[in-house]
A and B are shown apart, each in its own frame.
Chain A
Amino acid sequence: MKKAFSNLMKAISEGKFVYTGELEPHRSIDLSEVESWARTLKEAGIVAANVTDNPRSDSAISSMVASYLIQRNTGLETIYQLRTADRNRLALLSDVLGGAALGLRNILALTGDHTRIGTTPSSKPVFDLDSTGLIALIHKLVYEGKDLDGNELKGPRPEINVGAAANPNMDPLEIEILKLERKAEAGADFFQTQVVFDVEVARRFLREIEHIKVPTLVGIFPPRSYGQAEFFDKYVPGVRVPKEFMEAFARFRTIEDKQKRSEKINEYNVEYFSNFIREVKKERACAGIHIMAVGYPEVIRPLMESVK
């Protein structure tokens, strides 16, 4: 029987519809801005927030340290993102134990982008484990007190819930379903999905994964400008932004007054995504929503309130 250690997993086990957020620390030792976003998320009622680990292989402060400091300084539970990229199984084991000793209760296991496309293309790439291998490692540590080579832990076992990423935009979707079956078999406690704008895409995906029986949080990204929306539509693989959404943002772009423009954008985001959430909430596999409004925390509270 799977155990719920984190507030996130406890809330899901109690049948609550949960919201998670996303925080992206920079290539800096100063976490004050990220911590202020974390406070806004906490006040809005977010149960936990992901702390990214070198996204797109752009170098940044250690996600373990950032997860710990954010959790300690703001009281918001964190989901420590851990990429297997550029850490071998020895380093990953140390990081999992280190994170658990610091009181981190969630890890999102990711493979991570290749260093070639990031800020340090001259690095020697390491891909010893993939995300599925890391899920298996964490599961073994938590439930058997052993690592993948069978070495036993001394003392108590780490209390960690492990999540995995899912991509509803994968074409063909069958590939993703088979991958998620593997991740569930390896021991994933929850899934968080890539960004989805189209409710039909989310619905189809949630129905296809229902048999896997892993609680799933659907990822959304309310954009704060036309540029951000266009970025998803044009450059993020497989993400389709509905035409009416792009048209609305194109209209907002013509509003000259900055204040008025952002008010209109906020209003539209709240209306569009609250309808989206109400629809996906009806699906059995949907345990909550992962709101990736990085640097745009003020949209979260009105959005969550309008769904209630």
Chain B
Amino acid sequence: MLGETGGICPVARCAKGLMNGPCGGCVEGKCEVPVEIRNWKGEVVQTLKNDCAWYLIYQRLKELNRLDLFRKLRLPKNWGIAGYPRRL
């Protein structure tokens, strides 16, 4: 996947982990879901605007002249081979 997305991981960096982004929540390159920094009581102390991962991917692939990779239709990820650790 990373080879097709300019080294930027959409699973880790997109709030929705989308395969075919960006979604409609991308505004001027920023994600609709803010990043909230909380203190030990769980209260929000700072709200940050996160970069849209798919916007970054678009910019990077455009720079590399590889928008063909951006255009590629990606079928849903196989979560059958992923999962939670469950054991320590």
Chain A contacts to B: CB under 8 angstroms = 85, 89, 111, 113-114, 116-117, 125, 127-133, 136, 148, 165, 167, 171, 174-175, 178-179, 181-182, 185-186, 194, 237-238
Contacts and interface: CB of A to CB of B under 8 A. Distances in A.
B19 A130 contact: yes
Interface residues of B, number: 27
A127 B16 contact: yes
B82 to A, nearest CB: 12
B73 A111 contact: no
Given A89-B76, A178-B67, A185-B73, A237 B18 contact: no
A167 B34 CA distance: 22
B32 A130 contact: no
Nearest to A134: B76
Nearest to B79: A128
Contacts of A175: 22, 55, 58
A178 B33 contact: no
Nearest to B57: A175
Contacts, number: 71
B20 A130 contact: yes
A238 B27 contact: yes
Contact of A182 (B15, B20, B55, B76): B20
Contacts of A238: 27
30 contacts: A85-B16, A114-B16, A114-B25, A116-B33, A116-B34, A117-B33, A125-B15, A125-B16, A127-B16, A129-B76, A130-B23, A130-B76, A133-B19, A133-B75, A136-B73, A148-B75, A148-B76, A165-B24, A167-B24, A174-B67, A175-B22, A178-B70, A178-B71, A179-B20, A179-B22, A182-B71, A182-B72, A182-B73, A186-B73, A194-B24
Nearest to A186: B73
Nearest to A167: B24
Contacts of A179: 20, 22
B7 interface: no
Contacts of B22: 175, 179
A61 B28 CA distance: 32
Contacts of B23: 111, 130-131
Given A130-B16, A130-B76, A133-B76, 13 more contacts: A85-B16, A89-B76, A111-B23, A111-B24, A117-B33, A125-B16, A130-B20, A133-B20, A148-B75, A182-B20, A182-B73, A237-B27, A238-B27
Contacts of A136: 73, 75-76
Given A114-B25, A114-B33, A127 B17 contact: yes
